[in-house]
Amino acid sequence: MQFFTKDWWSDASDRGRAVALAYSNHFASIKNNLPLTLIEFSERYELHDAEICSIVNDESAELLRMSVHRWDQNFNQRMHYCLEFSGVTKFCMSREHAPISVHSDLGEIGYWECHLESPMLKICVLFNCGAELSVSFADFKFSADPIGA
Residues 98-126 have pLDDT tens digits of 545 554 567 788 889 999 988 899 999 98
Band (pLDDT 50/70/90 cuts) for residue 72 is confident
User: CA 133 to CA 135: how far, in whole Å?
Assistant: 7
Give the pLDDT of residue 63.
Answer: 96
pLDDT of 65 above 80: yes
pTM: 0.84
91, 96, 109: which is closest to 53 by C-alpha? 109
User: CA 132 to CA 112: how far, in whole Å?
Assistant: 10
User: Quick one: average pLDDT of 39-63?
Assistant: 91
Top pLDDT among 117 and 86 is at 86
Band (pLDDT 50/70/90 cuts) for residue 97 is very low
User: CA 51 to CA 6: how far, in whole Å?
Assistant: 19
Helices (H), the chain: 6-10, 16-30, 36-44
pLDDT (tens digit, 9 = 90+) per residue, 27-45?
Answer: 999 999 999 999 999 999 9
Band (pLDDT 50/70/90 cuts) for residue 20 is confident
The answer for residues whose C-beta is within 8 angstroms of residue 87's C-beta and 6 or more apart is 62, 120, 137, 138, 139
User: CA 51 to CA 108: how far, in whole Å?
Assistant: 5
CA torsion sign, 7 to 10 to 15 to 18?
A: positive
Band (pLDDT 50/70/90 cuts) for residue 137 is very high
Average pLDDT, the chain: 85
